[in-house]
Structure 1
Amino acid sequence: MGNITARAPGSLVVAMRTNSASTELPGDEFNQYLEEEGLNNVLALREKFGLMDAPGREIFSRCAKSIILVDEQSQGYDQQMDLPLELVPRTDPLHASTQVPLDLQLLFHGQPLAGALVKAQLKADPVVELTARSNAQGMVSFDLMEPGLWLFNAVHMEPSGDDSADWESLWSSLTIDLTDQFDQAN
């Protein structure tokens, strides 16, 4: 836990990447995880090579980012943080509302990533979850129906070059509190 003090109005973009960790799941659990995260390409490869029952050995790291709007200003909200997998808002969060969709771009090593499942989750009771697949430009658009703390995330997985794992994945997340913006827009 830490404290952050903003020095100027605008968007304070905070990002971090974790060290790699490893996990191994039984084949059926790994396949279910792949389905839940929309990693159809990995599932297809496992099926093609007869590996559906094989355990899933994975190395993963997280690329987390939060945007904090300071003094009701948003300049800098679209700043890229050079994370290997990164969600970048393309709609000014100050303009997000029930009438204006929030557009995000998913980047893999700075380039648009097509075909990835991106989830939007409102931290509420009950939790609200929306999903979209990124287009050729890595873009997704969400019609956010309620204000609050929104978490957006995506997972990208590729075969691993490490002998200790079959797969390497990056988990990207972006959080933005859109409570005040919705109140002002409506």
Structure 2
Amino acid sequence: MNSKILATLVLSAFVFTAALAHEFWLEAPRFRLQPGDTVNVHTFIGADFKGEPWTTKAAKIQCLTRFGPTPGDSTDLTPKNATDTDTFRTGFTFARPGTHIVLLQSTSSFIELPADQFTAYLREEGLDYALKLRQENDQMAQPGRETYRRCAKTLIQVGEAGATAAVTDSACRHVYGLPLELVPEQNPYRLAADKALTVRVLRAGRPAFGAAVQVWQRQPGGLPTTHFTTRANQNGRILLRLSGPGPYLLAAVDMSAAPAKLRARADWQSTWASLTFAGPAATARLPTKH
């Protein structure tokens, strides 16, 4: 094969795989708000914690909800009976002091990749189980037919974290039953700098042993975003040290055999999960209302 053609094919496969592997997350203009603020919580997709707007199509949203720091305090913006031309709202009012969570689950989408690109994608994302099954079932030469869905959560602090009771942490530490979910066991807004934060990775509510978790931290002053990968232990936990105010993006992906109802279009089902929040900031000040 001509070397130029080969180089082009390799580059195309790399670019395609990188595009497919872009993370998805939720992010408000500010992670710290005053009681009563109304802000849009945006959906982003991109690499290295730099993103573009994901979509405006309401039909792509299976769930979009805010949960407040006290039981019963919630806002559901999930579109109802959406058509392909409908858009969805992202403006939430954060009335009560405490830590709020906004979560989104997308509907399923489908894609088919040539065999070599699918293999490269599995290796890039650390999806060892799916790769092992393809090897054992002699499927390495077959295209990868996949259905994928996205689950994103963001934590937003309303009022000063130190001024609110610990009971207002309950929303951020709650398990919401997403198919793949990142659940902090401490409130990052109440941690001191360099203290440990443990996060559970849950697959269908159970510990996702060995799951690869990507961690990004934006740096102040225009410094490069930091990134590393860690894996969940036997209890599905990862351990982090919050070295600065962030914000932080945690992301994980899981792949398993597609459910029977989707087998006509897909052999595999992937689920992409993310969690965003700001870290401890003892000197952080809330914006002043005018």
* TM-score normalized with structure 2 length: 0.59
* 2:281 counterpart of 1:182: yes
1:170 corresponding residue in structure 2: 271
For the Cα contact (< 8 Å) 1:90–1:104, is it kept in 2?
Answer: yes
Task: Letter of the 1:33 partner, please give it.
Answer: Y
Matches within 5 A, 1:3-152: 3-73=91-161, 75-76=169-170, 77-96=172-191, 98-124=193-219, 125-152=223-250
Q: 1:130, 1:142 within 8 Å by CA — same for their partners in 2?
A: no
CA contact (8 A) 2:173 2:184 kept: yes
Asked if 2 retains the 8 angstrom alpha-carbon contact of 1:63 and 1:173, the reply is yes
User: Which string of whole-angstrom CA distances, capped at 9 and with x for unpartnered residues, describes residues 69-91 of structure 1?
Assistant: 11123622212222111100012
Q: 1:128-151: per-residue Cα shift (whole Å, max 9, x none)?
A: 112111112110112343432211
CA separation in 2, counterparts of 1:54 and 1:92? 45
Counting aligned pairs with the same residue, the percent is: 37
Q: How many residues align?
A: 183
Q: Could you say if the C-alpha distance between residues 183 and 27 of structure 1 is closer, same or farther in structure 2, counting changes exceeding 3 Å?
A: farther
Give distance in 2, aligned partners of 1:123 and 1:54: 39
* Higher Cα Rg, which structure: 2
Asked whether the 8 Å contact 1:102–1:144 carries over to 2, the reply is: yes
More helix by share: 2
Q: Which residue of 1 aligns with 2:55?
A: none
Counterpart-to-counterpart distance in 1, 2:105 and 2:208? 19
**Alpha-carbon distance in structure 2 between the residues aligned to 1:13 and 1:71:** 14
Q: Structure 1: how far apart are the matches of 2:217 and 2:119?
A: 26
The answer as to whether partners of 2:189 and 2:278 remain within 8 angstroms in 1 is no
- The CA distance in 1 between the partners of 2:197 and 2:110, in whole Å, is 33
- Secondary structure at the aligned position of 1:137 is classed as coil
Query: In the alignment, which residue of structure 1 is the partner of 2:52?
Result: none
Q: Deviations over 1:31-88 (max 9, x none)?
A: 1211122111111111222222321110010011111011123622212222111100
User: 8 Å contact 1:134–1:140 — kept in the other structure?
Assistant: yes
Structure 1 counterpart of 2:143, which letter?
P
CA–CA separation in structure 2 for the residues paired with 1:159 and 1:174: 25
Partners of 1:36 and 1:159 in 2: how far apart? 19
**Which letter maps to 1:107?**
L
Are the counterparts in 2 of residues 84 and 109 from structure 1 also a CA contact under 8 Å?
yes
Which of structures 1 and 2 has the larger relative contact order (alpha carbons within 8 angstroms, sep 6+)? Answer: 1
Matching residue of 2:48: none
2:160 and 2:130 mapped to 1: Cα distance? 42
Give the CA deviation at 1:97. Answer: 5.0
Tell me whether 55-64 or 136-145 shows the greater mean CA deviation. 136-145
